A and B are shown apart, each in its own frame.
Chain A
Amino acid sequence: MTMTNAFLSINGYNLTNRDVINAAFHNNVVAVLDPAAEVACAASRKQVDLWLQTDAPVVYGVNTGLGNLKDTMLSPSEHIAWNSTIPYPHAVGMGNFINPIITRTALLIRANVLSRSYSGVRPALIHRILEVFNAGISPAIRELGSTGLSDLGPMAHCAMVVSGMEGARVFYKDRLISASECFEMAGLATTFTLECKEVLSMMNGSTMTQAAAVHCIQAAQALLKYQDELLALSTLQNPELGVVVDLNIAISRTLLKITQTIEFENNVSCDNPLLFQNGLSYDVAMGCNCSNTQVGYDLDLLCIILSDKAALAVEFVKSNYTCEGNEEWLAIASNAAWHIHQNAQSASVDSIPTKAGQEDHVEFSYGAVRKAFSSVEHYKTLMACLLILLTKDHRQEQSVLADAALSKMIGAEDNRVGTEQTLRTVSHHLDTTLSIVSFTI
């Protein structure tokens, strides 16, 4: 990935997790479409335009309905009208809002997926998505309603925002407002017409899961490293050191494997159908690249290694801090660990047929990433407890554990602060220093 000044050039092939996190947390990063990718996208798009004229083969989502209405044919004259309404029945989010950092990240990753040129969308669409991203705009999307076998629901909300459809809402400068109002404020065109195949290409992929997965693995890495650093600083008893070292090595290797899978997934054509050049023309291939099975499996594995690592933290706490005065913190740590252990189960082994049996197998990778986020959230609480106990412990070197204000609040000097507020403050401290986000707001 080329990072010149604050520019991030995307071409669909080398977007790293670090690039994603950096761009998501810093509004001054400007993502642009790589010129060679733009040429390739324009070329494949011409084929879609040709199919709209005459003799088109049956192409899913180009001249057919979607899902189990795939056998219903659509005429070329209906496309603009169809693309202007088809996001609505797909935008099914319920519950709380997904964290705007994650939804904005999804825009960047989707633009990267489309820039590979196999989706057959206009470069203008990719520019539009990046324009919205670069303006610091986040689609407002509710958390529930996706299986992960393509995140149709959340990504339909993204399509609504990009197009400026009525009802689309965004988070912009910490305000929840309509997309059109936001675009006016930001100086962007208030509407963008989505043309043939473009709604499908916007929403037919597991990109919200992927955006969440990149943030989740980043947070998990940061928390596990933090635990190692805290325990390394401690002069207290760390039981069965040899076994702990072996386990830590295994966890690190497994975390690396999971991270690599997630990074690989940033740069695949998670979409269906796809176009491939064949001489001067393009063929269409309809398959199921809109799923992300490996990511779901690996996020399940992430929950297992978090469970193991949490057990080490709990043993350390129990061995060294089971004494009067610490009861509340021990109870909170124990409760957090219980949740982490409960989450060490596999979302991927579940499967419920959906859409009248057309999607007869679903692996729930979206559920897997939500579960992994839950583990990360509880892990943060566990680490907060660890930090608090170490900071309160006068046997430890205080200066290295937390900043002065935090130490003062945690320490006995400030008895006015209750347990809940202390936990909240320390958790916030971890969010800030480790760049941790929650799945919802």
Chain B
Amino acid sequence: MTIHSKSNDLLATSNVLLESYVALVSADQNRAHGIFSTFESQTHAKYDQQSTNNILPASIGEIALSLLDRTYKSQFASDTVARDFIRSLMDHNIVPALTINPVTNAIARQAFVESLQGTPNRYVYVNGVLQPSQSVMIGMDFINFLQNESNLIAIEERIDLNLAKMIYTYAVSKTLLKTADICTSMTLEAIRGETSAFDSRLHELGRPYPGQIATARNIRRLIEQSELTTEEARIAFGGDAGPRCQDAISIRAVPQTHGAVRDAHAWLGEVISGELEFAPRKASPITGYAVDLLAIALIDLGSMSERRTARLLDSKTSYGLPMNLMDENPGFNHGFPVIQAAASAILAEMKLKAPKGYGQSRFNQITGQYNSFELESCNRLLELLPLLRKILAIEAYMSAQAMDLCKKKLTGNAVGLGTRSALSKIREYISLVRENRFASKDMAVAEMIVEYGLLVRAVEDNIGQLD
């Protein structure tokens, strides 16, 4: 039997499969939110949650199990015992909980198996709820399968945790890309921005990169029917000295920059689809290159968002919004400067994690072998995503404040079709800041709104799927 033989069936379905995994991650976010919404005090529950920083979301383990199941179906169909074992886990909705600790591939695989064996200090998700593995797995008949040394070794050899992590990061990045477009649209409306920069012709005729075209389309749809992004609104608000002409780079270059991030993201999708054509796949360093390129691009996405929040703070660059986004008793009430500085600080952390010095394969002086760094690249991206999420959460928080302050003055002007849903969703959880209040809790809730995809879902429920 050829382990790495390509099946036509797999080839035809790899793109579909990737999209199904993206849907799985989204469903997992939904489920996580469902658990959250049962809390008595919704708004600050997230803040009070105990940290489980090192434990990765259930969907990564779920994808890893699905990939393992696929490998057995494709290449080891006669091993019905192993297939029954995997099926039993799936039927019981048990998913190993993985950690982000920087370990070797061998240790990561071992940890995966240990979480199924009921080893102390390992965890599993049951129906999406994190539980100590010991309390769940001990006593389950089907884990006897792992008592057999050869079974255990086979599972360890065939599990593909890196590919599962890559698929997860691809899915989460997709949500964050949409979130970034939503945040941009809110900021754009709050500063009564100029919309010519999103004219389809600039992108479809002028510089037709696929990501750029998609980003501009998203923004146009989000602000459709907006009466804030008009010359009339600018005049009525009184923040401009004359015709706006064009906005600063962090606003008007969004199609080009977010678009380039989308193109990097699309390349990772292509590479993953290529890997999914094999089950198991023949690991290639190209996955690491695609993950590293996306890491660079996502840091740039964070940089754009941080710059937009900086503009919102300053009356001059926000075209007349209250300084520090605080209109009531300013001076006594401090507003958002330190919240914005938090975005700058988090961005600096992202920059420190940028790929540098080492690529995807290196001769190891200690082992005398070439080492792949796919694991390290995947883990780096897993560390970057929560940082980016926080920066975008700060922009969502600040742009909602800015929009409401803008609307105070322009009461009769309609808000965009998509942005009105986004603003309403934020206001379900976070009220307008009118006085000095505990920022950290608001920021944690804003992060939750981004993390669980609530902002994207609220918009898409209203205007349909974003690109």
Contacts and interface: CB of A to CB of B under 8 A. Distances in A.
Contact of A305 (B259, B289, B357, B363): B289
Given A250-B360, A274-B206, A346-B355, A361 B249 contact: yes
A60 B256 CA distance: 19
B292 interface: yes
B246 interface: yes
Interface in A318-352: 341-342, 344-346, 348-351
Interface stretch (B125-133, B197-205, B409-417, B436-444): B197-205
B357 to A, nearest CB: 5
Contacts of B300: 293, 297, 348-349, 351, 363
Contact of A350 (B201, B248, B263, B351): B351
B76 interface: no
Contacts of A149: 249, 253
B356 interface: yes
A163 to B, nearest CB: 25
Residue among B253, B255, B299, B360 having the largest count of chain A Cβ atoms under 10 Å: B253
Contacts of A291: 249, 253, 256-257
Contacts of A118: 205-206
Interface string A358-378: 111111000000000000000
Nearest to B257: A293
A284 B197 CA distance: 10
Contacts of A300: 293, 296, 355
Contact of B359 (A289, A307, A358): A307
A360 B252 CA distance: 11
Given A257-B267, A297-B264, A361-B257, A289 B207 contact: yes
- Sort chain B's interface into a size bin: 35 or more
B194 A286 contact: yes
B369 to A, nearest CB: 6
B208 interface: yes
Interface residues of A, number: 64
A284 to B, nearest CB: 8
A270 B356 contact: no
Contacts of A270: 207
Contact of B241 (A71, A346, A348): A71
B163 to A, nearest CB: 15
A344 B355 contact: yes
A302 B297 CA distance: 14
A60 B351 contact: no
Contact of A344 (B201, B285, B358): B358
B357 A344 contact: yes
Interface stretch (A222-230, A241-249, A433-441): A241-249
A363 B356 contact: no
B296 A348 contact: yes
Given A71-B245, A297-B296, A304-B289, A289 B202 contact: yes
A357 interface: yes
Contact of B285 (A60, A247, A359, A362): A247
B345 interface: no
A311 B362 contact: yes
At the interface, is chain A mostly helix, strand, loop or mixed? mixed
A264 B351 CA distance: 28
Interface stretch (B38-46, B168-176, B304-312, B398-406): B304-312
Nearest to A276: B201
Given A291-B253, A351-B307, A71 B242 contact: yes
Nearest to A59: B245
A286 B359 contact: no
A417 interface: no
B346 to A, nearest CB: 13
Contact of A301 (B198, B256, B292): B292
Given A71-B242, A351-B303, A360-B310, A254 B286 contact: yes
B256 to A, nearest CB: 5
B201 A360 contact: no
Given A70-B245, A71-B245, A348-B300, A294 B354 contact: no
A58 interface: yes
A281 B245 CA distance: 20
Nearest to B369: A240
Contacts of B358: 307, 341, 344
A308 B358 CA distance: 7
A430 B284 CA distance: 31
B66 interface: no
A218 interface: no
Contacts of A271: 206
B283 to A, nearest CB: 8
Nearest to A71: B242
Given A305-B289, A361-B250, A345 B355 contact: yes
Contacts of A276: 199, 201, 205
Given A297-B296, A363-B257, A344 B199 contact: no
A288 B197 contact: yes
B292 A304 contact: yes
Contacts of A187: none
A283 B205 CA distance: 13
B317 interface: yes
Interface in B148-206: 194, 196-199, 201-203, 205-206
Interface in A234-281: 239-240, 243-244, 246-247, 249-251, 253-254, 257, 264, 268-271, 274, 276
7 contacts: A293-B259, A305-B289, A311-B359, A311-B362, A315-B363, A346-B296, A359-B249
Closest 7 CB pairs of A and B: A293-B260, A288-B253, A308-B359, A250-B286, A345-B356, A250-B285, A287-B197
Given A274-B202, A291-B257, 9 more contacts: A286-B194, A286-B252, A287-B206, A301-B289, A307-B357, A341-B358, A346-B356, A348-B300, A353-B307
Interface of B: 194, 196-199, 201-203, 205-209, 241-243, 245-246, 248-250, 252-253, 255-257, 259-260, 263-264, 267, 283-286, 288-289, 292-293, 296-297, 299-300, 303-304, 307, 310-311, 317, 350-351, 354-363, 369-370
Interface of A: 58, 60, 64, 70-71, 73, 118, 149, 239-240, 243-244, 246-247, 249-251, 253-254, 257, 264, 268-271, 274, 276, 283-289, 291, 293-294, 297-298, 300-301, 304-305, 307-308, 311, 315, 341-342, 344-346, 348-351, 353, 357-363
